[in-house]
């Protein structure tokens, strides 16, 4: 009598890097006979790839554990990722959690599950000292046939005072350009039209291999079979003029950058341990817009960092307001254990953090609307990713969300679109027929 196929479900919290890693890990299971099901479905095993950037991410992990136990009280739960690396004892003590695996061992999840008796409810904790982790595990997402997230770098050497990532992911390390290209060539043989290069500190690529991020993008630009490449978040001090100039001349690299600011106050930037000034950040933005006027510029910003006065906040607000920025990712400061910032005083009251966060969200909406509306009447190359309610949805080269009423078979194709008007958080367009 044959053994029933085990059903396994995955859920990812946090960044695009986590998504690429979950995708790679899940493929191992599918290739070894497991049936992958949705996270809301009944499964024998549930795997949660955790995040610990904020307190809310921690809470979400615990909420998900309770949720899957309601779906299948006898299920086996494995927690992997950043939260699992930072607080393994806290997680393994949770009711229903069977396995907690840190940064290095998560890529061996399949072998760990295969060698234990899942039904005996034993608890397993595997968590190596992050200071000894030096290996780079490449990963890539194939879940979306339109776009793949390709991990090219991991870890960070910066040790910003608010951030736990170096403690969760270790030192900065990368794959070699040759190995990255081998993976990219495999992606190019699929239906994928766009690759997003991801990492923790992507501009630091090659710090351990004596290569550079600029070397990588020059090689990626020669990749056949992929129409578009995007660069995920890159530090302003690592976004060099030659990278901007190269992207401005490339047909493959999209006019879209995401650059962390965090604060527009030099005092706060110093306390955060950031490696640039407000002026240097401003110059990066101006250089991008000078060489690539249509470029979309996303920015990370933190509201309510300890000691942030009203004046410090207004320096941040005014800097963003004055610059040609397209949208913001706003983070309300969240205390993280074992960071230097947790000891800074005075702290900003929770209600004041929320107030400042709301103001930045409103500024982001204003910036996005202004950016989107500036393209009304213009033509833009658009990759259509999905369909919903009989409409096509996609993104222009400079990352404007577009919907059109046209042939749904055009999903996963690139079309010239005339941008007509704004509708909520996207633009309405019309495909230009040849």
* Mean pLDDT split into 10-residue runs, the chain, 434 residues: 77 92 94 95 96 87 95 95 94 94 93 71 85 92 85 96 95 96 96 96 95 98 97 97 98 98 98 98 98 98 98 98 98 95 98 98 98 98 93 97 96 97 94 89
CA distance 208 to 202: 13
CATH fold group of domain 131-254: Transcription Regulator spoIIAA (3.30.750)
User: CATH 3.30.750.200 spans which residues of the chain?
Assistant: 258-374
* pLDDT score, position 434: 76
CA distance 209 to 16: 23
Could you tell me the pTM of the whole model? 0.94
Best CATH choice for the domain 379-431 from the list 2.40.50, 1.20.58, 2.60.40, 3.30.460? 2.40.50
Specify which residues 391 forms β-bridges with.
Answer: 388
Q: Pick the closest to residue 243 from 200, 291, 279 (CA basis).
A: 291
* pLDDT score, position 47: 97
Q: Provide the pairing of β-strand 426-431 with 414-423.
A: antiparallel
Q: Pick the closest to residue 68 from 88, 38, 109 (CA basis).
A: 38
Q: Pick the closest to residue 230 from 399, 356, 116 (CA basis).
A: 399
87 three-class SS: coil
**Using an 8 Å Cβ cutoff, are 356 and 304 in contact?**
yes
229 three-class SS: strand
CA distance 149 to 141: 5
C-alpha torsion sign, points 197, 202, 208, 209: positive
Q: Pick the closest to residue 302 from 360, 352, 245 (CA basis).
A: 360
* pLDDT score, position 422: 95
Dig out the tokens for 45 from the structure.
């095993």
CA torsion 19-410-194-245 (nearest 10°) is -140
Enumerate the H helices of 293-408 as residue ranges. 310-322, 350-373
CA distance 187 to 149: 10
CA distance 388 to 401: 14
User: CATH 3.40.50.12160 spans which residues of the chain?
Assistant: 7-128
Dig out the tokens for 169 from the structure.
């992911």
* pLDDT score, position 9: 97
- Residue matched to tokens 């795997």: 47
User: CATH 3.30.750.210 spans which residues of the chain?
Assistant: 131-254
**Using an 8 Å Cβ cutoff, are 140 and 187 in contact?**
yes
Enumerate the H helices of 206-309 as residue ranges. 213-220, 241-249, 266-272, 278-291
Q: What is the CA radius of gyration of the chain?
A: 22
CA distance 331 to 350: 13
Q: Which CATH class is domain 258-374?
A: alpha beta
* pLDDT score, position 1: 41
CATH of domain 7-128: 3.40.50.12160
Q: Which helix (H) or strand (E) holds 112?
A: helix 109-114
- Residue matched to tokens 């990278």: 243
**Using an 8 Å Cβ cutoff, are 194 and 181 in contact?**
no
* pLDDT score, position 332: 97
* pLDDT score, position 210: 92
CA distance 210 to 216: 12
**Using an 8 Å Cβ cutoff, are 195 and 159 in contact?**
no
**Using an 8 Å Cβ cutoff, are 98 and 123 in contact?**
yes
**Using an 8 Å Cβ cutoff, are 76 and 118 in contact?**
yes
């Amino acid at each position: 009598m044959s053994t029933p196929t085990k059903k396994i479900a995955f859920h990812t919290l946090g960044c695009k890097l986590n998504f690429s890693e979950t995708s790679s890990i899940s493929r191992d299971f599918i290739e070894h006979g497991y049936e992958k099901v949705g996270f809301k479905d009944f499964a024998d095993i549930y795997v949660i790839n955790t995040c610990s950037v904020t307190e809310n991410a921690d809470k979400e992990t615990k909420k998900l554990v309770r949720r899957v136990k309601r779906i299948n009280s006898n299920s086996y739960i494995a927690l992997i990722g950043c939260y699992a690396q930072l607080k393994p004892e806290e997680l393994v003590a949770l009711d229903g959690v069977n396995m907690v695996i840190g940064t290095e061992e998560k890529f061996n999840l399949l072998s760990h599950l295969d060698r234990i008796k899942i039904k005996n409810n034993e608890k397993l904790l595997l968590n190596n000292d992050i200071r000894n982790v030096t290996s780079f595990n490449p990963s890539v997402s194939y879940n979306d046939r339109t776009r793949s997230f390709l991990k090219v770098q991991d870890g960070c050497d910066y040790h910003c005072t608010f951030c736990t990532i170096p403690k969760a992911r270790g030192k900065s390390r990368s794959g070699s350009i040759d190995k990255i290209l081998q993976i990219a060539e495999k992606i190019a043989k699929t239906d994928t039209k766009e690759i997003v290069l991801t990492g923790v500190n992507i501009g630091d690529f090659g710090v351990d291999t004596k290569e550079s991020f600029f070397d990588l993008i020059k090689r990626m630009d020669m990749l056949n079979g992929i129409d578009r490449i995007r660069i995920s978040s890159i530090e302003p001090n690592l976004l060099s003029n030659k990278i901007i100039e190269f992207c401005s001349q490339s047909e493959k690299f999209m006019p879209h950058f995401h650059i962390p600011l965090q604060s527009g106050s030099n005092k706060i930037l110093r306390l955060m341990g950031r490696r640039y000034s407000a002026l240097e950040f401003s110059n990066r933005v101006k250089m991008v817009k000078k060489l690539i006027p249509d470029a979309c510029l996303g920015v990370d910003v933190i509201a309510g960092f300890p000691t942030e006065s009203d004046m410090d906040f207004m320096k941040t607000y005014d800097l963003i307001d004055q610059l040609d920025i397209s949208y913001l990712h706003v983070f309300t400061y969240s205390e993280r254990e074992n960071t230097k910032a947790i000891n800074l005083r005075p702290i900003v009251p929770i209600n004041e953090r929320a107030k400042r966060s709301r103001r930045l969200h409103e500024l982001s909406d204003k910036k996005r609307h202004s950016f989107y509306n500036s393209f009304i009447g213009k033509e833009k190359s658009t990759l259509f990713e999905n369909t919903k309610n009989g409409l096509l949805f996609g993104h222009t080269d400079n990352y404007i969300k577009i919907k059109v009423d046209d042939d749904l078979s055009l999903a996963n194709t690139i079309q010239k679109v005339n941008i007509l008007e704004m509708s909520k958080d996207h633009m309405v367009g019309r495909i230009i027929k040849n």
